[in-house]
Amino acid sequence: MPEVFLVNPPDPRSMREFLVPMRIREHETLPPLGLAYIAAVLEKNGIDVDILDAWTLDLPIQKVLERVGEASPKVVGITCDATRVNVTKEIAKGVKELDKQIKVVIGGPFPTCYPQYFRENIDAVALGEGEYTMLELVRKLDHGFDDVMGISLFKNERLYATPRRPPIENLDELPFPARHLLPMDKYFTLLASKAPVTSMFTSRGCPFECAFCSVPYQWGRRYRMHSPRYVVSEIEHLAENYGIKEVDFKDSDFTLNPDRTDKFCHSMIERKVDVRWFCNSRVTGMTKARLEKMKRAGCSLLLFGVESGDPDTLEHIRKHITLKDAEDAFKNARDVGIATFAYFIIGFPGETKKSIQRTIDFARKLKPSYVAFSLATPYPKTELWDWVIERGLLEEDSINWDTFSFYDVNLPVEDLSATELKKIQTRAMKRFYVRGVPNLLTRGWRRPFFRKKVRIAVRGFLHTIGAGRN
Ligand code: B12
Ligand code: SF4
């Protein structure tokens, strides 16, 4: 019987991707690494723990509760982001109905930024980094945990928070995530060029301040990272134990520290590690020499946050990049043979039809292998959120968090209605999608899960253009 039972909640049924009507997990599902790190630290300290990845296994809430009942743990820990607020609350309620004595602790990006939303059935919200907070909570279970650092809880109807826990200075002290508790054969992403693929998270914190992003609040502004040696050892561990052939680095910016990137690439080449990888990266500093080395070290794809093709918008959202930086990065990556993904966001406050068109034109000019146009979404603890709330553009109490993804219209823009904005997004995506099919096919034909995914995508596409059933 595990003492601690960690849950990655299922996908809210309502949330569907904008381009093809399939749920996110149908084109990408990767390990809940936050829970796996917490489990690893608990195990290292002799605490029995299990993880249920209900998102990947597509389990409904009822099944999750059955599994909690069977496990009969002392603590249930749930991870939560913006779109899974309601599912998290329902699971917490169900757990308390099963047994009031079970403590329910939640954590993750959304509760960290908006703990006041979790008033009932939740004993504590872990703020920010969760490994040591959870460990301390479990150790203090029998004596009361109100003084554990880095938590927030409701007491006598008032929200109360202990001081934030200092960030983990030496990330290498963390054991590898407890992937043995996860369904490792179920993970995939359509962006991988090889299978099996899995994800890693090798740095925390972001020194930037993009107006739409809650990452600096969640992780802090200082960039902390695992050493190149730790990263390469983890990749080798994944290859040996799970036969992993490609790694998706989920860091906000894997290449932010040039010295680490360089040493990591050097080590991958020197140790002849035959595992490919891809990562998020800023467009700045992507010289050909650097990219060539990354390519030799196994880099197959770079995902760049360009955000806008309109210089004024880039300045307003404080992205601190220029269009020239983006053009150079995409050209250099193409020249050395690394595929590219361009992320854009449209519909920021103050944007107009013209500025959005500039973004769409710029996306075309960059000739990326893949592209995504998200809709500006104001997450709590971002400048965008403050802006929107101050102007009364969103009523906090009436937000439908289930649909608070990058694909649902949350904000109107200057000269466009919300519906028009959504139409522009879909049209822009469709054009790229049609153009991108050959790309997807060339990258994907060898992958075992690819045929199944192509079927889903074609069905979805037919539906999108109005030719399908459903
Ligand atoms: C990987 C990722 C995904 C993967 C998820 C894979 C998975 N199983 O985790 C995919 C691609 C599916 C995804 C989808 C989406 N994502 Co996402 N994603 C990320 C990303 C890049 C990394 C997350 C990660 O792996 N972190 C690594 C681990 C170690 O950290 P962690 O999970 O946060 O856990 C730590 C703490 O939060 C805490 N903790 C977490 N859970 C718990 C639970 C307990 C009990 C405790 C004590 C502590 C605790 O302790 C952990 C260890 O320190 C983050 C950005 C980022 N840099 O954080 C965005 C991010 C989390 N995603 C975000 C969003 C908005 C989405 C989408 C809604 C986007 C969309 N398409 O519309 C969807 C939602 C899908 C859904 N859940 O239904 C936002 C969340 C914003 C918010 N404030 O809620 C983020 C922060 C990106 C951003 N810049 O805004 N995402
Ligand atoms: S979008 Fe990227 S660079 Fe900007 S604040 Fe978020 S994590 Fe940092």
Task: Summarize pLDDT for 382-433 with one digit per residue, the tens.
Answer: 999 999 999 888 888 889 888 888 877 777 777 888 889 989 998 998 888 7
Output the residue whose Cα is nearest ligand 2's atom 4: 210
More confident residue, 444 or 144: 144
pLDDT of residue 212: 97
Q: How far is the CA of 379 from the centre of ligand 2 (A)?
A: 13
| Residue 215 CB less than 6 A away from ligand 2 | yes
Q: Is the dihedral of CA 360, 362, 368, 374 positive or negative?
A: negative
CA distances in angstroms from 86 to 8, 14, 79, 290, 401, listed in the order given: 13, 12, 12, 44, 7
CA distances in angstroms from 137 to 4, 101, 143, 151, 428, listed in the order given: 11, 15, 10, 9, 48
Q: Which residues line ligand 1 (CB under 6 A)?
A: 11, 24, 28, 30-34, 37-38, 77-79, 81-84, 105-110, 113, 126, 129-131, 133-134, 201, 213-215, 250, 252, 379, 405-407
For residue 440, pLDDT beyond 80: no
**φ/ψ bin of 298: left (φ > 0), alpha (ψ from -120 to 50), beta (otherwise):** left
Q: How far is the CA of 81 from the centre of ligand 1 (A)?
A: 6
Q: Is the peptide bond before 196 cis (omega within 30 degrees of 0)?
A: yes
For residue 437, pLDDT beyond 80: no
Task: Summarize pLDDT for 310-361 with one digit per residue, the tens.
Answer: 999 999 999 999 999 999 999 999 999 999 999 999 999 989 999 999 999 9
Burial grade of 233 (CB within 10 A; 0-12, 13-18, 19 or more): middle
Task: Summarize pLDDT for 194-206 with one digit per residue, the tens.
Answer: 999 999 999 999 9
Task: Summarize pLDDT for 356-380 with one digit per residue, the tens.
Answer: 999 999 999 999 999 999 999 999 9
Residue 186's nearest CA partner among 57, 297, 98 is 57
Mean pLDDT of 170-177: 98
| Most ligand 1 atoms within 8 A of CB, residue of 250, 377, 422 to mutate | 250
Helix axis angle, 61-71 relative to 85-98, nearest 10°? 40
Q: Using DSSP, how many helices (H) and how many strands (E) does the chain show?
A: 16, 17
Query: Whole-prediction pTM value?
Result: 0.94
3-state secondary structure of 304: strand
% of the chain exceeding 90 in pLDDT: 78
Task: Summarize pLDDT for 228-285 with one digit per residue, the tens.
Answer: 999 999 999 999 999 999 999 999 999 999 999 999 999 999 999 999 999 999 999 9
